[in-house]
Amino acid sequence: MNIKPIIEHFANYSPLNALEIKELELRLFERNIKRKQFILQEGDVCKHYTFVVKGCFKMYKVDKKGNSHNLQFSIENGWIGDIGSFHTEKASELYIEAMEQSIILQIAKQDLLYLYIHHPKFNLNFRVLIENAFVSLQKRVLQNISLTAEERYLDFLNNYPRLLNRISNVQIASYLGVTPEFLSKIRKDIVSR
Amino acid sequence: MNIKPIIEHFANYSPLNALEIKELELRLFERNIKRKQFILQEGDVCKHYTFVVKGCFKMYKVDKKGNSHNLQFSIENGWIGDIGSFHTEKASELYIEAMEQSIILQIAKQDLLYLYIHHPKFNLNFRVLIENAFVSLQKRVLQNISLTAEERYLDFLNNYPRLLNRISNVQIASYLGVTPEFLSKIRKDIVSR
DNA sequence: CGAAAATTTGACATGACTCAACTGGAGTGG
DNA sequence: CCACTCCAGTTGAGTCATGTCAAATTTTCG
Say whether the CB atom of B14 is under 7 angstroms from strand D: no
The answer on A125 and A84 residing in a single domain is yes
The answer on A135 and A155 residing in a single domain is no
Give the confidence band of B192 by pLDDT, cuts at 50, 70, 90.
confident
**Strand D, nucleotides covered by protein (CB < 7 Å):** 7-13, 17-22, 30
The answer on A87 and A35 residing in a single domain is yes
Q: What is the pLDDT of residues A180-189, one digit of tens each?
A: 999 999 999 9
What is the percent of chain A where pLDDT is above 90?
Answer: 98
The answer on A97 and A56 residing in a single domain is yes
- What pLDDT is attached to residue A193? 82
Amino acid at B42: E
How much is the average pLDDT of B98-112? 96
What is the percent of chain B where pLDDT is above 90?
Answer: 97
Q: How many angstroms separate the CA atoms of B125 and B93, rounded? A: 27
- Chain A nearest CA to B29, separation (Å): 24
* pLDDT, chain B, mean: 97
The answer on A109 and A17 residing in a single domain is yes
The answer on B192 and B104 residing in a single domain is no
Q: Does a structural domain hold residue B137?
A: no
Say whether the CB atom of A63 is under 7 angstroms from strand D: no
Q: Which residues contact B8 (CB under 8 A, 6 or more apart)?
A: none
The answer on A79 and A15 residing in a single domain is yes
- What pLDDT is attached to residue A140? 98
> Nearest nt (C1') to B181 (CA)?
D10
Q: What is the spatial distance, in angstroms and rounded to an integer, between the CA atom of A44 and the C1' atom of C30? A: 69
3 state DSSP class of B89: coil
- How many domains does chain B fold into? 2
Domain boundary among A104, A120, A139: A139
The answer on B155 and B108 residing in a single domain is no
Q: Does a structural domain hold residue B142?
A: no
The answer on A130 and A44 residing in a single domain is yes
Torsion of CA A72, A73, A77, A83, to 10 degrees: 30
**How many CB atoms lie under 10 A from the CB of residue A192?**
6
- What pLDDT is attached to residue A26? 97
**Strand C, nucleotides covered by protein (CB < 7 Å):** 5-11, 15-20
Size of interface A-B (CB pairs under 8 A): 88
CA distances, A151 to each of A143, A158, A186 (Å): 9, 11, 10
How much is the average pLDDT of A77-88? 98
HSE-up of residue A100 (Cα within 13 Å, Cβ side): 17
- What pLDDT is attached to residue B193? 80
Q: How many angstroms separate the CA atoms of A71 and A56, rounded? A: 14
Q: What is the pLDDT of residues A135-183, one digit of tens each?
A: 999 999 999 999 999 999 999 999 999 999 899 999 999 999 999 999 9
- What pLDDT is attached to residue B24? 98
The answer on A154 and A115 residing in a single domain is no
Range of the domain at A191: 147-193
Q: What is the CATH number of the domain that holds B77?
A: 2.60.120.10
The answer on B177 and B122 residing in a single domain is no
CA distances, A103 to each of A3, A51, A53 (Å): 11, 9, 5
Residue of B12, B50, B44, B13 lying closest to B28 (CA atoms): B50
